[in-house]
Structure 1
Amino acid sequence: MESKFHFTVNPQSNQLKFQQLVDSVNDAVSKNLLQVGDTLPSVNQICKESSLSRDTVFKAYAELKNRGVIESVPNRGYFIAKAVTKVFLFLDTFKAYKEVLYGSFLDSLPETIAIDLHFHHYNIDDFEKIIKESIGKYTKYIIMNFDHERVAEIISQIPPSKLLVIDWDVNSQEGTSSIHQDFGQALYDSLESGLELIRKYESFIYLYPSFTYHPKISIIYFEKFCSDYKINYRTMYDFKKFDLQKGELYLLVSDRTLAKFLDQCEQKNLVPGQDVGVISYNETPMKKYVKEGITVISTDFQLMGKKIAEFVITGEKTNLVIPSKLTIRKSL
């Protein structure tokens, strides 16, 4: 029986030829061009059609067998054993809103797609090591980049067609797909939608602690908003100097700082939404219930998860910005 699969070496690729063959088979399975039970070309046929050595083809087929993608039967040859597609998912940390994204992503995928989840915690050495060890083992790479000068070079090892940068579109190479949020103008627009409530406070303070990795462009747009609307404001960087006073409104990008805000409300008998105000970044399932509701600025992480799944399933190039909005609750 003639195989549906045909392989051509890409001489411009930096990948070894055996790895190109492995990736080509995995891609064909991922795109449903090869299904369980379909036969692959014989070693001799691949050698003849692609000018590869027998050792190279045997090495590629052995790798695919080790992964469980193919099996071999004497006098029959090699065939597809299972249609599970492996996807590499690389997040920064696993916080409550990331759990929403992750859950939505998994729920939107068919059972034939398996996810390997890793975390880099903004450590560039771990980031590089884990990426290097993953090369060639997955059909798609979903990566949360961060602001470091070496990130772009490290992820350049991944073919752009297989790579999706999520949440923060930074340090990505040309031709790479992205599904991300806007940390600049979207912040300005969100604050603008709550302008009347913001004006009831004497001062508006952006607490941007040294331990956060939240994009610094948000500082520019926060200060621009306050300047444009003549709102008394300041940006605070020293978390240790946080001392809540009546009449203050805070923009918080860390749940750690939100906990401190709520602690001081209890200690000083200040009521959120009356004596003091808070806008927290990133929606989580609990924020709608804490203190009768915490006002949030957030992108739609559930929608982001669904769109990431669409990229994995279809492989179509995308550059999508997921909208952010202000959800007003009692704390404002």
Structure 2
Amino acid sequence: MMKLEGVVAFVMTSEAGSISMAARRLGLAKSVVSERLAELERTLGTTLIQRSTRKLSLTGSGLTFLPRAQRILREAEEATSELAARSGKLVGPLRISAPVGFGILHLGPAVGRFLRDYPEIELSLELDDSFVDAATGGFDAVLRHGAMGDGRLIARRLASSRRLLVASPGYLDRNGTPATLGDLERHSAILYSNRASDWRFSALENGRSRSDGGWSVVRPRAALRVNSGLVMRDAAMEGLGIALLPTFFVHNALASGALIEVNIGLQAEGAELFLAYPKDHGAAAKIRAFGDSLRRSFGTPPYWEKP
């Protein structure tokens, strides 16, 4: 008889691209995942995955079986969620991906609150700054800050964050404080390497961004490019240059005076925080509960936006 745990191992390995990554996401030893795959192949009487020292690929049988295996898991999750919802409980696994910096700064207390409210949910949280496809990445939901334009997904807005130009007092003492876009172009910048290095600003009217959608773009000179918002913040605090960062990275540094906001009279493009997941997902009830719990933990407005 085919065991569900073998199907889980096969689907996760196919989506993750390696047995090691699948084991990591499942919280299991690599040897356990390998044995479950081997047992599934013995049960089906065919090889599903072609293994080599350098790469892993699906056989013809594996490609045929994969969509059916994914459907088996979706239906099993939907059945479990439906029964749990009828009994007033949320139970079982929930796999979430989130950005590294935001996770380190803000998700520890929020996750603790969620698991105290829903102790029967088995939460797996993986922090990753690379792009994770919420539809095919092997997660139930992905926490992102930035634009969402994927028609395959439901995106629940969790919180907002402004992006601010910030620099250390020492840097501004040595180099002066820019007051215009032209001034800004002559300064050293700390840039995030995983997105376009342009800085986009909208003019303000009565303290708010203009409604015509017009943007002014600055292409600053890079003193440092790095794929971590936390390293950007720390580099700015060390006086390496000016950084454009969401308030959820810099609110404490601004409060302590380690960083100073650089005001050039323009509003930088914001950073909305979303929880994204595929439509008709079997774990939708758990995902909604997780999103609601995060919103309560962050507050409205979120605590990083409060004076």
User: Which structure has the highest strand share of the two?
Assistant: 2
Structure possessing the higher relative contact order (Cα contacts under 8 Å, 6 or more residues apart): 2
**TM-score band w.r.t. shorter chain:** 0.3 to 0.5
- TM-score normalised over the length of structure 2: 0.42
Greater Rg, structure 1 or structure 2? 1
Q: Which structure dedicates a bigger proportion of its chain to helix?
A: 2
